[in-house]
Amino acid sequence: AKQSGRNQAHFFTATMQEHANQRMTLEQDLRHALSRDQLEVHYQPIIAGHSRRVQGVEALLRWRHPERGLIPPDQFIPLAEETGLIGEIGRWVLQTACAQLAEWRNQGHALYLSVNISERQRELSLDARQVEQVLQQHELTPGDLMLEITEGLLLQDSEETLRWLQGFKTLGVSLAIDDFGTGYSSLSYLKRFPVDTLKIDREFINDLDSDRYAQSLVKAIISMAASLDLRLVAEGVETEQQCQMLLDQQCELMQGFLFCRPLPAEALSDWLEQESE
């Protein structure tokens, strides 16, 4: 047993070393990803369930790595946050997505834009003034933009966070809580923070077909949102049955593979053209 224990320890160390090396390489690559034009924003429509008309789009970041191919955000955003690179990257996402929205607007598509922001971007100088400038630059109004934050940010419950979010609210952009329901269920922050939209996590939507518990939970979230006057978006809608259940509960806005996957700007342009016919 002693022998195998030692081997295991050795193995573990080697793996950790490898992991650390991989991380360092990835970090170096990420530092150059922007200047080398490797980042892309993809867009996923947000749909009104009854009419099936598109209401908005969510901007979702991708990294087209020369050797590794397309890297999903979950695999590099944590690193971007730890290194602070998310400051620059986040500004680029906002710029790029606003420019794209302006283009779609000019083509006659009435859409809003939703952009994910990380809590670290507060210290990295993303503020209401900067957002306002980007909007003005593209002749957009604050009402055209929604910012999505995760529950984690609100749980810190600091004065800085509150002031940061109030800045956006005062400007007039919408604020959504992303992945709602997956964090701690301390709901007091819904009153304290100037949030106007909840995005129900796709984990719950996914289980809607089969799981009575998920059904009750989604029901509870929907009725809470209604009584607090919060808008709702259901994420990860993949089946007609899920869509129908949400409509039955008066949850109108939806997003998911049932309607459209996240697509590069050009492909989504084609999709929008088709939809508007």
Q: Kindly state whether residue 44 participates in binding ligand C2E, applying the rule CB under 6 A.
A: yes
User: Which of 131, 114, 112, 113 lies closest to 122, judged by CA?
Assistant: 131
With contacts defined by CB under 6 A, name the span among 2-10, 187-195, 216-224, 232-240 that binds ligand C2E.
Answer: 232-240
123 burial (CB, 10 Å; 0-12 / 13-18 / 19+) is exposed
Beta carbon of residue 136, minimum distance to Ca ion (angstroms, whole number)? 24
Q: Which residue has the tokens 């946050």?
A: 81
Looking at beta carbons, which pairs linking 65-70 to residues 24 or more positions away fall under 8 Å? 65/29, 65/33, 65/38, 66/38
User: Which of 204, 272, 276 lies closest to 238, judged by CA?
Assistant: 204
CA atoms of 254 and 4, how far apart (whole Å)? 52
13: DSSP letter? H
Q: Candidates 44, 116, 118, 242: give the one binding Ca ion (CB under 5 A).
A: 116
Instruction: Please report how many Cα atoms fall inside a 13 Å half-sphere around the Cα of residue 165, on the Cβ side.
Output: 28
Q: Kindly state whether residue 147 participates in binding ligand C2E, applying the rule CB under 6 A.
A: no
Contact 221, 180 (CB under 8 A): yes
Beta carbon of residue 117, minimum distance to Ca ion (angstroms, whole number)? 9
Q: Candidates 257, 264, 273, 276: give the one binding ligand C2E (CB under 6 A).
A: 257
CA atoms of 129 and 164, how far apart (whole Å)? 11
Q: Kindly state whether residue 236 participates in binding ligand C2E, applying the rule CB under 6 A.
A: yes
Q: Kindly state whether residue 202 participates in binding ligand C2E, applying the rule CB under 6 A.
A: yes
Binding mask 84-123 for ligand C2E (x = CB under 6 A): ------x--x----------------------xxx-----
Both tokens assigned to 63:
């990294």
With contacts defined by CB under 5 A, name the span among 11-19, 141-149, 215-223, 224-232 that binds Ca ion.
Answer: 141-149
Q: Kindly state whether residue 151 participates in binding ligand C2E, applying the rule CB under 6 A.
A: no
Beta carbon of residue 94, minimum distance to ligand C2E (angstroms, whole number)? 8
Residues near Ca ion (CB under 5 A): 116, 148, 178-179, 235
Residues near ligand C2E (CB under 6 A): 44, 60-61, 72-74, 77, 90, 93, 116-118, 148, 178-179, 202, 235-238, 255-257, 262
